Chain A
Amino acid sequence: NAGVTQTPKFRVLKTGQSMTLLCAQDMNHEYMYWYRQDPGMGLRLIHYSVGEGTTAKGEVPDGYNVSRLKKQNFLLGLESAAPSQTSVYFCASSSLDPGGSYEQYFGPGTRLTVT
């Protein structure tokens, strides 16, 4: 049981390049999330999904797109990277069980640098 995994772990992009970050979870969770964390700051929600085929905007969605084609995967895309998108990106998932704790399980993060 791997939990939440993220690919890649590190990436360096040039301004204007595009890339996709992959998040996978093996806990059969309904909800998935993408956050970014800038140095010394808390996490900010970019986009989230409440189920396969659905996505919604979070606090800082501009410059990012997401897709949830399969329940276990949540992809974050940067179409034209900018230096302001240099950050650590965390993916998380949580369950729908009303009797549960609604705990979010986080991946190890992807460190992205845009030059």
Chain B
Amino acid sequence: LAKTTQPISMDSYEGQEVNITCSHNNIATNDYITWYQQFPSQGPRFIIQGYKTKVTNEVASLFIPADRKSSTLSLPRVSLSDTAVYYCLVGGRAAGNKLTFGGGTRVLVKP
């Protein structure tokens, strides 16, 4: 499974856009890129998934360049409730949909 590298932590303020970049240099052809969000004392929650270019849903956008060696999760106009740990994962389409979680990025949104 491809290894991912993402910043340990980021601070932001309410109303700002937060962009978290994840590196995955050895991503395989069949791998998808998925982001999860985790609040304290809760299980992770799926945010968004993509293969290439740009994917957007009601909570986030995912930007993936042509070489797919990195991806950027964009959270528009964050609020205090977006304070969480965000995990970038690569894989999920192999047998068993196995995922490898790294350390994640701890995002702190300040008032």
Query: What A residues does B45 contact at CB under 8 A?
Result: 106
How many residues of B are counted as interface, with CB atoms below 8 angstroms from the partner's CB atoms?
22
Q: How far is the CB of B28 from chain A (nearest CB, A)?
A: 15
A93-114 Cβ-contact flags toward B at 8 Å (1 or 0): 0100000011111111100000
Query: What A residues does B43 contact at CB under 8 A?
Result: 4, 90, 92, 106-109
A32, closest chain B residue (CB)? B96
**Interface core residue of A48, A92, A103, A105 (most chain B CB under 10 Å):** A103
Q: Are B98 and A43 in contact (CB under 8 A)?
A: no
Q: How far is the CB of A6 from chain B (nearest CB, A)?
A: 9
Query: What B residues does A94 contact at CB under 8 A?
Result: 97
A39-65 Cβ-contact flags toward B at 8 Å (1 or 0): 001111100101000001011000000
The interface of chain A, by Cβ under 8 A from chain B, is: 4, 31, 33, 35, 41-45, 48, 50, 56, 58-59, 90, 92, 94, 101-109
